Amino acid sequence: MDRPRILSGIQPTGEMHLGNYLGALRLWVDAQYDALPHYCVVDLHSLTVQIDSKHLSKRTLDAVAMLLAIGLDPQHCTIFVQSHVPEHTSLTWILECVATMGELGRMTQFKDKGSSQESVSAGLFTYPVLMAADILLYDANKVPIGDDQRQHLELARRIAGRFNSRFGETFVMPEALVPPVAARVMDLQNPGSKMSKSSESSLGTVFLLDPADVVVSKVKKAVTDSDGTVHYDPENKPGISNLLEILSAITSERPDQLALKYSSYGALKTDVAGAVTDILRPIAERYKELSNEDAYVREVIRNGAMRAREVASVTLARATEAIGLLEPPAVASE
Ligand code: TYM
């Protein structure tokens, strides 16, 4: 069988955290050896909320360095920056003319992010169409994502299906690849909400570059409950179940099985803190080395843009032809 084609993306809006890692990035690393993966730092998506233009380019470089630090190997996958591949915005326009206002208005992420802002950009509304373009340009069969991106992936499938049925088979139908546990890592201080870079308290989010003592302190202070017994029950014991899922994602033991090993919250927290610091240590070490390898990181980005454009331009040409746009005249290169 052909190797599956994979596409996924991450925003360069701040430091990456344990939710990103366990929910998606680990799958990116695992997939690179038996698939054809394209991984994208989605800088254009980050323009949809307050634009931090002073720091965006540095954050984009840092995000690529972080992807290398977690173990992505440019020999096995293409790492690129979304804005370097203009086919993404060209295809977005075409897909915006296929998507409907109604379906975009139903996106929960738009409703959540939009409701907390005084002025909502049109880009925030059409955000999922750009994401659909990211995915469809690379003929992705599989899209490794955390649970919060499922609805966007569903929309990408609907848009692809509608385009194909109106204009002929053009796009490959993508499927979500969501991890069996830790697909939604919860905030340690507020286990009713997902862990995120923009949490109210930084105590709730373990960042991949947090020093070991900070990780231990955040895990030890994680909010639990007053019941005192360790068992896996996400609905009634969200704090403890979140810790069990984190440990399960790292040890590959089922969360309900892990629960049987613990008679106190303290012992569970000690093991979670230990397991998390063990996986973060080599990432931080590699990231530190990469801070002196700016030329290498830029080369990865340059090669990635070239490789990504080769694939994206073919798919875009297929889509423009299918929808009936006049083929552009060849432009002399000199
Ligand atoms: P972003 O940048 O918010 O997050 C990157 C990835 O991390 C996952 N994730 C989580 N998983 C588990 N628990 C959490 N608490 C958690 N927080 C984040 C996300 O599900 C995601 O997989 N719209 C996307 C970026 C994107 C994209 C794409 C993804 C743009 N184009 C094409 C896939 C394919 C986003 O904002 O992810």
* Residue 26 shares a structural domain with residue 83: yes
Q: Pocket of ligand 1, candidates 149, 157, 159: which has the most ligand atoms within 8 Å of its Cβ, to mutate?
A: 149
Q: Is residue 210 part of a domain?
A: yes
Q: What share of the chain is helix, strand, coil (3-state, %, to 5)?
A: 55, 10, 40
Span 5-56, pLDDT tens digits = 999 999 998 799 999 999 999 999 999 998 899 999 999 999 998 788 999 9
Is the model's pLDDT at 333 over the cut of 70? no
* Residue 174 shares a structural domain with residue 72: yes
Told to judge if 113 belongs to the known catalytic residues of this protein, a careful annotator would answer yes
* Residue 214 shares a structural domain with residue 260: yes
* Residue 41 shares a structural domain with residue 165: yes
* Residue 75 shares a structural domain with residue 39: yes
Q: Is residue 328 part of a domain?
A: no
* Residue 159 shares a structural domain with residue 108: yes
* Residue 69 shares a structural domain with residue 146: yes
pTM comes to 0.96
Give 23 Cα–ligand 1 centroid separation in angstroms: 8
Closest among 36, 7, 25 to 130, alpha carbons compared: 7
Give 227 Cα–ligand 1 centroid separation in angstroms: 33
Span 212-267, pLDDT tens digits = 999 999 999 999 999 999 999 999 999 999 999 999 999 999 999 999 999 999 99
* Residue 50 shares a structural domain with residue 164: yes
The β-bridge partners of 194 are 186
Q: Is residue 23 part of a domain?
A: yes
* Residue 229 shares a structural domain with residue 302: no
* Cβ count within 10 A of residue 184: 20
Is the Cβ atom of 23 under 6 angstroms away from ligand 1? Answer: yes
Is the Cβ atom of 17 under 6 angstroms away from ligand 1? Answer: no
Is the Cβ atom of 259 under 6 angstroms away from ligand 1? Answer: no
Range of the domain at 84: 5-182+294-323
Longest dimension (CA), the chain: 74
The token pair at 66 is 């972080």
Q: Is residue 187 part of a domain?
A: no
Is the Cβ atom of 143 under 6 angstroms away from ligand 1? Answer: yes
Q: CATH number, domain at 212?
A: 1.10.240.10
* Residue 282 shares a structural domain with residue 314: no
Per the CB < 8 A criterion, the answer to whether 43 and 81 are in contact is yes
Q: Is residue 334 part of a domain?
A: no
Closest among 307, 285, 332 to 37, alpha carbons compared: 307
Question: Measured in whole angstroms, how far is the alpha carbon of residue 46 from the centre of its chain?
Answer: 12
Q: How many domains does the chain have?
A: 2
* Cα dihedral 238→240→241→245 (10° resolution): 130
Per the CB < 8 A criterion, the answer to whether 146 and 20 are in contact is yes
